[in-house]
Amino acid sequence: MRINRKYMLTAIMLMLLAVAGCDRLKHWLGKENSNQSFVKEIPAGTDGNNNQVALLLPDFTQLVDQQGPAVVNIQATRDNRNIDGDSEVSSDALPDNDPFYEYFKYLLPKVPQTPQANDDEFNFGSGFIISKDGYILTNTHVVNGMNNIKVLLNDKREFQARLIGADIQSDVALLKISAGELPVVQPGNPKDLKVGEWVAAIGAPFGFDNSVTAGIVSAKGRSLPDENYTPFIQTDVAINPGNSGGPLFNLKGQVVGINSQIYSRSGGFMGISFAIPIDVAMNVAEQLKTTGKVQRGRLGVVIQEVNYNLAKSFGLDKANGALITQVVAGGPAAKAGLLIGDIVESVNGERLDNSSDLPVRVGLLQPGKQIILGIWRKGKKEEIKVVLDNMSPAITNPSTAASAVTTPTDGTNFTEQKLGLTLQATTKGLVIEEVSGLAAQVDLRRGDIIVAVGQKLVHDENDFEQAVAASGKSVPLLIRRASNTLFVALMLP
């Protein structure tokens, strides 16, 4: 057969291009970069100059192969309820007495039954192994109140687990099984996580063990109601009931968090989930392992967020830090000389972007430890050393400006027209009688008590007028509303 020379040359050129393409593909696949072993680059089209460009996309197959064996399924019951029963077959399966049961029972899907939401005697969740001798991390809410905890490994082995300790505040629990040479996860550093970075979760949503879901980091340092000591990692990874306690991995195959909570109106995945940073969890686990309890440092203050107007009223260039609104009498902050109106900007040199950062940083430290707080006070930066004590369940006997006002007054009324306030001087402070104009715009209310302007206590009309005049165009008012104390900034035109 004769071969046209023209076709032969074309074939040779195509072969050469293919070889060159393989080298390029090898580069795309990241073979030369061992630090991104779970990332692939694939062609994504052309740029404006008709040059080929690449787009980073994650490949989770190696991550699952390497880290999956260290992820466990947890089943917990109360009162020795049997969890080894016939729960593998769906409730829609054929009954035992059906004539076709014998023919079809081996074809029925082995789907785990999901307990009813009101079944408080059965919990299921996930966990992961942190030591070769059988220590396992999970969520407290998975095992809390249960007296029979079973751990199912990736290789189908089952173990009864012993609860070493559980911390309700952080929702971290430590289990122990009697086994050796187990696969373990590698902890990462949550501080290195970036918003938009790919992450993956492995767990048992609705009892379907070894399920893998992926997404990105949506935000860091989230504070949730009643969760003041955990800077949650927010993701859009699909997390559902049963994922609780399971690991959140970065693309290096390191655990960066424990999947703990979801935001949902339906009880299922809605694109907002929260993970406990692994450094917080490991700190709790170490304390549970060594002492059986968790201790957290306490500063002894009540704080609020610094918004733009408050920042201006206190002379700050940026809205950051934690504004102190109460100081607990006899606590570490009071002993160190911290004052109402101080803004804590850093702890041991680490900047506080939000007020929620302060309890997190302090809570990770042990009682008795000395820290250095960088504060903003009356237009100047200062550093104050504080020795922490042990966190108590509740704050009692707060030393506020209101409690310090003891000067008798005649109870006369006066009006500050430019602020829109009519006030009455009392022994507790200046009680707001009427609100209009600027005061109404910042939600000041009748019955609120003004106890200070900035860091200056005010007892009467003269005190108030002088303090307002000294504040300039931004007036920070410390008010008492019911049992709460907070600052409100009035911005004069």
> Which residues are tagged catalytic?
141, 171, 244
Query: Please, are residues 215 and 254 in contact by the beta-carbon 8 Å criterion?
Result: no
Distances (CA, A) of 295 to 76, 129, 332, 368: 27, 24, 16, 11
4 sits in which H/E element:
none
Task: Please report, for residues 366, 409, 454, 456, 483, the alpha-carbon distance to residue 433 in angstroms, rounded to integers and kept in the order given.
Answer: 46, 16, 21, 21, 19
Q: How far apart are CA 19 and CA 307, in angstroms?
A: 60
Q: What phi and psi values does residue 145 have, to the nearest 5 degrees? A: 80, 0
- With vertex at residue 474, the alpha carbon angle to CA 342 and CA 470, rounded to the nearest 5 degrees, is 80
Alpha helices in 114-201 (DSSP H): 140-143
Output the CA angle 315-321-322, nearest 5 degrees: 105
**Rounded Cα distance, 325 and 485, in Å:** 6
Angle (CA) 191 192 193, round 5°: 90
**How many angstroms separate the CA atoms of 350 and 394, rounded?**
27
Q: Which helix (H) or strand (E) holds 217?
A: strand 211-224
Reported residue count of the chain is: 493
- Extract the tokens encoding 31: 């073979």
* Tokens matching residue 343: 């803004």
Alpha helices in 129-210 (DSSP H): 140-143
SS3 content of the chain, % helix, strand, coil (to 5): 20, 35, 40
Helices then strands, each counted (H, E), the chain: 11, 31
CB-CB contact of 338 with 386 (8 Å)? yes
